[in-house]
Structure 1
Amino acid sequence: MEGVVSVFPSRTRKLHTTRSWDFLGLSRAAKRNLAVEGDVVIGLLDGGIWPESESFNDKGFGPRPPGGRAPAKTSPATSTKIIGARYYKGGFVSGDELSPRDFDGHGTHTSSTAAGNAVVNASLFGLARGVARGAVPAARIAEYKVCWDDSCDDHNILAAFDDAIADGVDVLSVSLGHSEMLDYFEDTMAIGAFHAAKKGILTVVSAGNSGPDPGTVTNVAPWYISVGASTIDRRIVTRVVLGNNKTIVGIDSLNIHDSPKNFSSVIYMSCMAPGQFDDIVEKGKIVFCDADYEQDPYNSGAEGFVAVTTDPDDDAADSYTLPTALVTYDQAKELAQYLRDSPEPVAKIMKSEGVFDAEAPVVASFSSRGPNLLNPGILKPDIVAPGVNILAAWSPKAPIRDDGIDTVTTAPYNIISGTSMRPPTSPAPPRTSNHSTLPGLLGRSCLH
């Protein structure tokens, strides 16, 4: 057929889900050339954006960048900060409003990580409190909503690439990917990024969240930067105070509930069978499980939940509906011994807190690994950047948890982990205050 280069199936891809910049040595006090940064347009292919977030306030921003590089005014959601916002709905049946607005949270999170304004006193219910800011706070954002209900169709992705190239963005951040590696000629992200590269536009993509097994990285085209996730020097812990005044420091759970003043009784359950929590007769007790059951005993009326983690090397803190602490096997043995020794065992699950992690940075356990199985001679991922327990802006239409239990708790800022958090970190180098004339593709070389 005339004008058709190739035909292949449109596949569905998935989205890859305060302290980062200080940890990287980019303090808020660092000297910046705001005139240069204000001329940078970062395009994001994601799940939309919530423009009313304080991270995208356009107060103090000058007119749109000159020279025809900026997108046309494409939505009522645009401003002098968000200078373009498009959406692509072809092929999707979704209950979401047909607009560039974010109803999932992911797109708002990545956008603020890339170019969010500095927001003082940001936190998730007091946790990780500090100044939330993006890689290039003075940069402009062009949002391309290609994902609906956590799914992103290839034909929408390719259409967004076409528009972003025509709009003249400086760099593209794409935090999504396929579950399997595709040949370049059938990979819409690789095709779109190739055409962007021909126009001098750098594309930065997430490596994926399928680690730590080798060969799990799927975004491997040589003309874009594939970014894995690493830890930062803040780890989130949840302390369990026992009635004998001993404290167990739990790992990898995110408890936003205020620390209780009083102790609660503790009961043991094996927690191996679904529905077992329904048999709890006495309410208001902390349930101690010897397994990391996927669903906390929320509907049972339990006061809290302590479980043995099946992956003690996991870096990301998961949020639970109940006050929850995950403990190692050795810590569980200590707790079990206390239950045996005490006629009336009691405990308190404290609110999570951030502690210093001297081992950082290390590659996150979930971050997809090389080698590049398509072209073993090309190193992928290219780099890693902070992607564990990152606080950034969130959509008020999205619950802070995706457990399907708590669908009402929202917050202006949320803590999530994933290699999705990393492409927004990496657009900064090509046109920052210190490299104001460096073209995007040459900027790629500087990151190696």
Structure 2
Amino acid sequence: MRARRAGRIIGCAVLALGAGIAAHGTALADDATAATSAATAATAATGELTLVTLAGAGTSAGRAEAPDLLAEQDAVLAAVGAGAPVYRWTTALNGFAVRLTEQQLTALDDQPAVASVEPDTIRPMAGRTSLAAVRAAAASPRLRGGAGVVVGVVDSGIAPQSPAFAEVPGLGADPEAFAGACVEGQGWSADDCTRKIVGARWYVDGFGADRVRTSESLSALDTLGHGTQVSSVAAGNAGVSVRVDQRDAGFFGGVAPQARIAAYKACWGAPDPADDGCSTADVVSAVDAAVADGVDVLSLALSGGEGIDILQLALLGAAEADIVVVGASGNTGGSAYAAHAGPWVTTVGSAVGRMSRGRVTLPDGRSWTGGGRPSRVSARAVLARRAAAPDVSRRAAAQCRLGALDSRLVADRIVVCERGAIGRIDKSESVAQAGGRAMVLVNRRPGAITADLHAVPTVHLPARAGRSFSRWVARHPDARVSMARDAGRPGTRRTARWSASGDPRGVTLKPDAVADGDAVLGALPESTGRSWGVFSGSSAATAHAAGLAALVRARHPERSAAVVRSLLVTSARPVPGASPLAQGTGALPSQAPTAHLALDVAPQEWRRALRRHLLARLNTSSVLMPARRQRAVRTVTNIGTRPEYFSVTARGFSSHRVRVQPLAVRLAPGESADFTVTVTGPVTPGQLDDGMLVWRGARGGVTRVPVALTR
């Protein structure tokens, strides 16, 4: 569908990656991890799985040929006396995964071709799936968009039987350059690939086929649900009827409903769900294959890793192949910095708060609003703590624990449940089992409210409103109250406390942006017992960003991946009260951006800047710099079809003066101009100052460039 731009690298020294190479994960693959192929099992050395990167780029950079890279790998393996590798990589990067003894690891230090050595790690998926009953779905956001584009999803696989991935009329143009394959396996045949699911591959040798749970399928088939939800949000069909328990619950549609999906299963379920995750070796193999296949957008809704590790180098190869790469920042706010530190990755964090809202109204007209998607209900209300089942404590009843409610006291009533002890959705299930008609969930202390998809109509009230409503119900046990969907504006977005922020000492500003990551509806595989469910975390936000990228690529196939990345992040709107290190530019839009100004980066510049330790000076769509440096330069390009004036203002800085020169430019189509950001003010250790450069075009477009000044 488009010509790929392959940059050429002139020379490539060993990459000095420093401490960022250290893996950040939860478990190392051990001796029990076995390769599934007989050849590998027979020749693999007895040792830990080690990931080795050799100097130089993969074939995606247009510099080398695969046979030459394989010969380099063979020479290193022979020099240390290693057996056959578990994986080889030649496209996104030059390297391999192999089991090595301590002596062989030591011998690698003497190999000049080796750029980095890492142990394999297990990375977590960046989302949590809820199997709550779905009672209402949002309408499809659009019926068209994304035709001809392939979104590669590296995750836990996909459920081809879901109507979100059916081969329906109106999918539009087929991809022209995609060359993927449909790899068969348990529960997956070649017929499961269609015009919608155009590719399927799976990788388990790093995780270990003998370590997966018995319900897993050694194929691209998803049994966990995470990959299916991510794929459906990014590119699920439009206008899909959501039907649950023999009743209609609305319609669903992905962000780019005409885009195609290529599934790369590299995340697996373990016997203990706490051990679920994605082996870095499997993930890198999936990325290498996706680049070779020719996907247009690559989504990785998984976190883990620090600095520029081997996965970031593989994603660099994807960027050099002109692929828009989108990665999840992770859900480790307060304990770890955002994942995917590479500036060639669009790293997406989570926003919450902009949710569907419900209203609870008293007979005298007083009302309270909270999170929820309730249908209209009018009934008597009862405090759950006053409706305890026999031999059940008032506390257990108040928290609406399963089996704690007396059906004689809650039948056909709106039950007021307190938050705590069990999951929110489990409380509504308890109310439903006891015959309750609806639920008002109240926080007992300050905290977030949500709009989960509950088993009964539900409104979730914050602590202060919940106390007022509960006191009224206690005094009026026989009065009727009503609840309904609030027709007003949705709540105000804010960054999620659990969304990982960027490292102020890093070389680039992360995350790049945020998107809705709380109670997002997506498709589920049949193995979960549900066809639909909600999921939360930066994986949901990543899926949204990947869909937006597909919309832009379909509408403007001539635009490079770097330009698409710039358009996405500069079109975001700031979230009140959050710094750029928490939100990047802000919350991504729901529609494809239409601005005509972009910050481009040539494919060869990424690796050149990495080699010279100059990533901070790349023409990225953000600025992260020490205040003492005082100066940064960026370049903007008119990607529109007509000449246009653009002007800029600096906003939000509290302790520094930030000047931009020039303040306005006139650019013809394709013309570029440099602008300089100059900072003056105090250099205070530990102090962070930040703001936004806002470019406005004469034709109405707005381009925002966040700036964070660190110590």
Structure 1 distance, partners of 2:526, 2:361, is 33
- 3-state secondary structure, aligned to 1:103: coil
Q: Please report how far the alpha carbon of residue 28 of structure 1 lies from its aligned counterpart in structure 2 after TM superposition.
A: 4.4
Query: Hey, what's the Cα distance between the residues in 1 that align with 2:350 and 2:244?
Result: 21
When residues 337 and 388 of structure 1 are mapped into structure 2, their CA distance, relative to the original with a 3 A threshold, is: closer
1:365 counterpart residue number: 496
Q: CA deviation at 1:378?
A: 1.2
Query: What are the Cα deviations for residues 45-97 of structure 1, in whole angstroms up to 9, with x where unaligned?
Result: 11211112222222345785334x32023342211211101122332322222
The residue aligned with 1:407 is none
- C-alpha deviation, 1:224, in angstroms: 0.4
2:350 counterpart of 1:229: yes
For structure 1, which runs of at least 5 residues remain unmatched after alignment?
Answer: 400-409
Alignment of 1:368-383 (within 5 A): 368-373=499-504, 375=506, 377-383=507-513
The aligned amino acid for 1:100 is: A
- Aligned residue number for residue 294 of structure 1: 422
Cα distance in 1 for residues equivalent to 2:228 and 2:342 = 26
How many residues align structurally?
412
1:311–1:138 Cα change, 3 Å: farther
Q: Can you list the C-alpha shifts for 1:288-340, whole angstroms capped at 9, x where unaligned?
A: 45543324566696436544325755364334556654322222322332344
Matched, 1:110 2:227: no
Q: SS in structure 2 opposite 1:432? A: helix
Q: Which position in structure 1 is the counterpart of 2:676?
A: none
Contact 2:163 2:240 in 1 (8 A): no
Give the 3 Å change call, closer, same or farther, for CA 16–223 of structure 1 in structure 2.
Answer: same
Match of 1:145 in 2: 265
Closer/same/farther in 2, CA of residues 247 and 98 from structure 1, 3 Å limit: farther
TM-score (norm 1): 0.76
2:339 counterpart letter in structure 1: T
1:8-407 matched pairs, under 5 angstroms:
8-17=118-127, 22=141, 28=143, 37-60=146-169, 61=171, 65-67=175-177, 69-75=178-184, 76=189, 77-90=192-205, 91=208, 92-94=211-213, 95-122=215-242, 129-130=250-251, 132-149=252-269, 150-178=276-304, 182-185=306-309, 188-211=310-333, 213=334, 216-230=337-351, 235-240=355-360, 249=368, 251-252=370-371, 263=380, 265-268=382-385, 269-271=394-396, 283-285=408-410, 288-295=416-423, 296=426, 302=434, 303=436, 306-309=440-443, 314=448, 316-320=450-454, 325-342=459-476, 344-345=477-478, 353=485, 355-360=487-492, 362-366=493-497, 368-373=499-504, 375=506, 377-399=507-529
Q: Distance in 2 between matches of 1:287 and 1:59?
A: 42
The residue number in structure 2 matching 1:404 is: none
Q: Does 1:416 align with 2:547?
A: no
Distance 1:356 1:261, change over 3 A: closer
* TM-aligned CA deviation for residue 171 of structure 1: 1.7
Structure number with bigger Rg = 2
Contact 1:217 1:380 in 2 (8 A): yes
Q: Which moved more, 1:152-161 or 1:6-15?
A: 6-15
TM-score normalised per structure 2: 0.50
Amino acid at match of 2:422: E
Quick check: 1:315–1:364 contact (8 Å CA) kept in 2? no
> Cα deviation per residue 1:181-240 (whole Å; 9 max; x = unaligned)?
52323xx432321222232222101122344x597423322220001233586x333555
Residue 163 of structure 1: CA displacement? 1.3
| CA gap 1:263/1:220 in 2 versus in 1, 3 angstroms | same
Partner of 1:440: 561
Measure how far apart 1:246 and its partner are: 6.1
Shift of 1:144: 0.8
Matched letter for residue 266 of structure 1: L
SS at match of 1:101: coil
CA 1:348–1:333: 2 relative to 1, 3 Å = same
**Pair 379,143 (structure 1): closer, same or farther in 2 beyond 3 Å:** same
Q: Is the 8 A contact 2:148 2:172 kept in 1?
A: no
Distance 2:384 2:182 in 1: 59
Q: Hey, what's the Cα distance between the residues in 1 that align with 2:382 and 2:398?
A: 22
Larger relative contact order (CA 8 Å, sep ≥ 6)? 1
Distance 2:220 2:157 in 1: 5
Aligned amino acid, residue 441 of structure 1:
A
Q: Give the 3-state SS of the residue equivalent to 1:176 in structure 2.
A: coil
Contact 1:307–1:325 (CA under 8 A) maintained in structure 2: yes
**As a proportion of its length, which structure holds more helix?**
2
Give the alignment's Cα RMSD to 1 decimal.
3.8
Q: How far apart are the structure 1 equivalents of 2:353 and 2:406?
A: 42
Give the Cα separation in 1 of the matches to 2:486 and 2:288.
Answer: 42
- Counterpart contact for 1:44–1:142, Cα < 8 Å: yes
Change (3 A) 1:420 1:201: same
Instruction: State percent identity of aligned pairs.
Output: 27
- Look up the equivalent residue of 1:263 and give its one-letter code: R
State the distance in 2 between where 1:282 and 1:121 align. 33
CA distance in 1, matches of 2:282, 2:373: 35
Supply the distance in 2 between the matched residues of 1:137 and 1:280 (Cα, whole angstroms). 43
Is residue 16–residue 206 contact of structure 1 (8 Å, CA) maintained in 2? yes
AA aligned to 1:392 is G
Code of the residue aligned with 2:259 in structure 1: it is A
Output the CA distance in 2 between the equivalents of 1:214 and 1:128.
38
Q: Amino acid of the residue matched to residue 327 of structure 1? A: L
Which stretch shifts more, 318-327 or 333-342?
A: 318-327
| Secondary structure, aligned partner of 1:2 | helix
- 2:307 and 2:342 in contact (8 A); partners too: no
Q: For the residues of structure 2 that align with 1:310 and 1:70, how far apart are their CA atoms?
A: 55
8 A contact 2:384–2:405 mirrored in 1: no
DSSP 3-state at the match of 2:168: coil
Is contact 2:203-2:265 (8 Å) kept?
Answer: yes
Segments of structure 2 that go 5 or more residues without pairing to the other structure are 1-74, 78-95, 97-113, 128-136, 270-275, 386-393, 571-711
Is the CA contact (8 Å cut-off) linking 1:241 and 1:347 kept in structure 2?
A: no
Distance in 2 (CA, whole Å) between partners of 1:282 and 1:129 is: 30
